[in-house]
Amino acid sequence: MPETGASPLDPSSPAHSPLFRAEHFVWLTARVLEQRLFAFHFLNGAADPVETALDAYRNEDGGYGHALEPDLRGPVSQPLHTGHALHVLDAIERCGGQRVDRVCRYLTSVSTPEGALPATHRGQRDYPTAPFIPVVEDPPSSLLATGPVVGLLHRNEVWHAWLFRATDFCWQAVESLEKSHPYEIEAAVAFLDSVPDRPRAEAAADRLGRLVRDQRLAALAPDDLDAYPVSPGYAPAEHHFPHDYARTPRSLARAWFTDDEMGRSLDHLADEQQQDGGWPIHRRQWAPSVPLEARPLVTIQALRTLRAYGRHIG
């Protein structure tokens, strides 16, 4: 007699769930770090192996390099790599102690005269870099690089001298935004979601939400993407959706969108899972290794977002 329950060909079978398919994709393609992160988030994996894998990217100056952020190649420490490392430490609840003190010393050493982070440090000029990431001799302060780092450190109650001026820079940058682009808005949200002054953050987020809608920076109708312009310098299909800004229901950006708009956005995200089990990247692909390394990162984030909103992933 055959066993009762779901058939292996039944779409409701665990073998056809988004999580099962993504797991196959991760084991097939991901770097060790993303394999360990996937196991931590979805397979009851431990935090220690994640931190051990992350240590391979750490340099003696306290920063991180070695293409941790796939669009920046080479060994040198960079703010974007180091921000990525802090995201990993935050995810595994290890964003504190001496490891973060070392990171803050590195951040201090590469900060601009305003006390903020540049998107790239000039040491990157000797190594391959995505064409949409400028490498200049005297780089300006960047909200895109600074906002997420400041937000993460505040969320983890890290107190370091570097944070004071960097926080002031973020407030000034966020509250003066008049015209922006999706990645900069995402960085602003990452700052506002965790900065301690909640009334000020809520007021700033409300203004940003109106800006996002007025400038059509969120594709609210995934089945009519031609109605939403792609920001200058972005790839042709590099649209951003409500779930890109509000990655969890607790984000201040969630209030920017109606339930129907967020529902359509999450439906679109779920439908983007590809036949191989991974999610695609839509930014410009400039080197063969970049999509191979970036897709597992995008896949883990997609699953976490869907799960945060109570969507079934398996």
Contact, 234 vs 263, CB < 8 A?
no
Q: What does the pLDDT read at residue 103?
A: 98
Q: Name the pTM for this structure.
A: 0.94
Q: What does the pLDDT read at residue 14?
A: 63
State how far Cα 174 lies from the chain centre: 18
Integer Cα distance of 222 and 226 in angstroms:
9
Contact, 40 vs 92, CB < 8 A?
yes
pLDDT tens-digit profile, the chain (314 residues): 334 444 344 445 666 899 999 999 999 999 999 999 999 999 999 999 999 999 999 999 999 999 999 999 999 999 999 999 999 999 999 999 999 999 999 999 999 999 999 999 999 999 999 999 999 999 999 999 999 999 999 999 999 999 999 999 999 999 999 999 999 999 999 999 999 999 999 999 999 999 999 999 999 999 999 999 999 999 999 999 999 999 999 999 999 999 999 999 999 999 999 999 999 999 999 999 999 999 999 999 999 999 999 999 99
Integer Cα distance of 220 and 235 in angstroms:
19
Q: Could you tell me the two tokens for 180?
A: 């922006």
